[in-house]
Amino acid sequence: MNTSKNIINKLTLLVIQECYEEIFHLINSDEDTRNSLLEIEKLVNVNYAHTTKTFNQEFFLALNETEIDTLIKIFTLLDGWVHEFTFDSQTPVPILFNRLQDLKYSHFNKLVDWVFKKRANKHIFPFGWDRHDEAKSLKEYELFIEKDKLKSEIYRLQNTLRSVEKKLLNPNKVTNDLKEAIKRNDVRSLDRLIRKGVDIHAKDSDGKTLKEKVDEIKNNNTIGFIERKYGGK
């Protein structure tokens, strides 16, 4: 584990200085560093732990914010550019991002934006699942999400508009349907029709409100049920 920590510390210094070309050169030229980093990837990647048995929770949870930030940037930079580090959907980056969220990392949004701008593998997604993987920055991603919400709201409003337009064609239809259900003693239809927005306090032609008539039907139906079940006792 000490070797792994030393490699992470070494890479952290390069990441802080933004020496990305030097990182590529180091990984390509130094086999020990490359292999050590591959071992680190196995230790922190729970995606295929059930097959490789390499995920080390103790090591994973012991990583501090800076170390996780470094690993995210390293795996993002190398993925798609260095063969051994091309992980596709098995990338460990989303898992590392989740850990940073748990730690309430203060530079989380800045790191997310960096990843959006640098990634070659579209599966490297800060939020754990590939939604709007075409986004090239955090701002662009947020705009996509805002667009989704607006489209959803437009869809809801269009449905409401269609419903209102349908009601305007026959504004008294639901009330008339309720009156017909009352005449038929159709208990099952009463609540369904009332939920559609009938003014149950409106008076019918005999002076009784629709609510009074509905209550009478329900009451009679309850009494009838008791009599049928208990023989009128």
Q: Are residues 169 and 218 in the same domain?
A: yes
Q: Residue 16 is which amino acid? A: I
**Is 116 found in the same domain as 7?**
yes
Q: What is the pLDDT of residue 145?
A: 92
140 located within any domain = no
**CB-based burial, 143-180: b 16+ in 10 Å, e otherwise:** eeeeeeeeeeeeeeeeeeeeeeeeeeeeeeebbebbbe
pLDDT of residue 223: 55
d(CA 61, CA 58) in angstroms, rounded, equals: 5
Give the residue from 107, 130, 153 where a domain finishes.
Answer: 130
Residue 137 lies in a domain: no
Q: What pairs with residue 203 in β-bridges?
A: 209
Final residue belonging to a domain, choices 103, 130, 157: 130
pLDDT at 193: 80
Would 45 be classed as within a structural domain?
A: yes
Per-residue pLDDT tens listing for the chain (233 residues): 678 989 999 999 999 999 999 999 999 999 999 999 999 999 999 887 767 788 999 999 999 999 999 999 999 999 989 889 999 888 999 999 999 999 999 999 999 999 999 999 988 988 866 678 888 999 999 999 999 999 999 999 999 999 889 878 877 888 888 888 888 888 778 888 888 777 788 777 788 888 888 888 888 776 554 555 555 54
pLDDT at position 168 is 85
Residues 17 and 72 in one domain: yes
pLDDT number for residue 198: 78
CB 136 within 8 A of CB 116: yes
Q: Which one of 130, 158, 185 terminates a domain?
A: 130
Q: Are residues 126 and 199 in the same domain?
A: no
107 with 185, same domain: the answer is no
Number of domains into which the chain is organized: 2
Asked if residue 151 and residue 73 are part of one domain, the reply reads no
123 & 23 share domain:
yes
For 84, other C-beta atoms within 10 Å of its C-beta total 12
Residues 24 and 121 both lie in one domain: yes
Domain region containing 218: 145-230
